[in-house]
Amino acid sequence: MQAIPSYDSAPPLALPVRFFMAAWVWLLLLAGAWIGTADGGYPSPALWLPLHMLALGVLGNVMLGALLQLLAVVSALAFPRPGLWQHGLWGCWQVGCAALALGFAGGLSPHWLQLASVALLAAMGLLVWLWWLLWQSPAQDSSSRGLRLALLCLLLTLGLGVAQLGVFGWGLSWPLLSLLPLHRLAAQGWVWLLLVAVAQVILPMFLLTPALPGWWQRWASPGWGGLLLLAAALSLRWPDGGWWWLAALPLPLCGWVWGKALAHSRRPHEWLPRYWQLGLGLMLALGLAFIAGQWQDSDWLRRLQGWLLLPGVVLTLCVGMLYRIIPFLLWLQLRRGVKPQQKVPSLQVLLPEARARQGWRAVCLWQLCGVAWCLAPGLWLLPALAGTLLALLLGWHYHAAWRCWRQGTQPVAKAVPVQ
């Protein structure tokens, strides 16, 4: 039931790292997108720009890079032509994100939105091929099945998003109000189902927790997917019912399963559990915000729900895993080409624990500033500055790890001191 990673099948280092570095660039650019969010309306066109820069540019790149790496080492999915994904998928994704951002920044400029729809359609075509390769993979473990469902939700998210661009960019008369809730539900499915599938591998491997319960591995992805499908059907039948909250029903159970596994980690005092603990706390707050939203309809509460989902839970877990995944990929690359006269630095040398804890404090600051913006949108400068600080800190740490990796590829007579 639990997948066993096979690192001999890992793709070239440049494939996932290219997506991770693009995510860093988009996080740095995100600061300027908060300027128009001071009006306080939610949802509003002013929020489309930062929302999609975060969802597609930052989180989309991180999750695609992690997906491509995980498909190779867990689902035995080979990448015989890595350049197609390294340049084709990556390039189409960046062009689509940039054109979409420029279209939103320019007041729904049709030319940019048309370019975005074409680029994202090209990326979607490559992802359809990837989904077909995964479907034909012999891997039948729970993580691979969850990845299939998550990738299917990503395809639906892109398809529904491109359909909405057809309304704004190409002047098509499609039912926009019916497409929007389905787009939101599919996006939630992509996020949650990918996190569920990744956690089944990451928690035991990196945090040394026990394997997640068998019933959770079997039923979490299809059960959550079924709720999403039910919410979509009800939204089509009764569009004013707000059925998207059904996608949040498994959150308490998910938090309990992950929290119980973390409580039995053999590395409880390491830095990585802090990110997951913060993510679980934000997940609990998200569940409470969804419940409160059933009785109170206010702009600040809707802003808080939106913040806790993507900038909250998802970004926190993504940053924490990047602090582990990037040095691990660098270390794995060094191990592949090691020579007798070379000394391979450890993970701790590539990215010391002190730097990962600095990143955790920067994420905490980002969350505090985001909550302040939810309560008073005139404070939009706070998340802008906190996001810039987080991006600069991540860039500094990545560069230091790269320098150490470069030193590790050179013949040495003794251990290389950490800069």
Name the packing angle between helices 214-237 and 176-206 (round to 10°): 170
Instruction: For the chain, report the end-to-end CA distance as a whole number of angstroms.
Output: 43
Please state the pTM of the whole predicted model.
0.91
Q: Report the distance separating Cα 221 and Cα 246, nearest Å.
A: 15
Q: Report the distance separating Cα 130 and Cα 133, nearest Å.
A: 5
Q: Which CATH class is domain 7-337+344-407?
A: mainly alpha
Cα angle value 352/354/358 (rounded, 5°): 125
The pLDDT tens digits along the chain (419 residues) read: 455 555 556 678 888 899 999 999 999 999 888 887 877 666 677 889 999 999 999 999 999 998 888 887 776 666 667 788 888 999 999 999 999 999 998 889 999 999 999 999 999 999 999 898 888 877 777 888 889 999 999 999 999 999 999 999 998 888 887 888 899 999 999 999 999 999 998 899 888 899 999 999 999 999 999 999 999 999 888 877 777 788 888 999 999 999 999 999 888 788 889 999 999 999 999 989 988 887 888 889 989 998 999 999 999 999 999 998 898 888 888 877 665 556 777 788 888 989 999 999 999 999 999 999 999 998 999 999 999 999 999 999 999 998 888 876 655 444 445 44
Cα angle value 27/29/35 (rounded, 5°): 110
Q: What is the pLDDT at residue 124? A: 96
Domain extent listing, the chain = 7-337+344-407
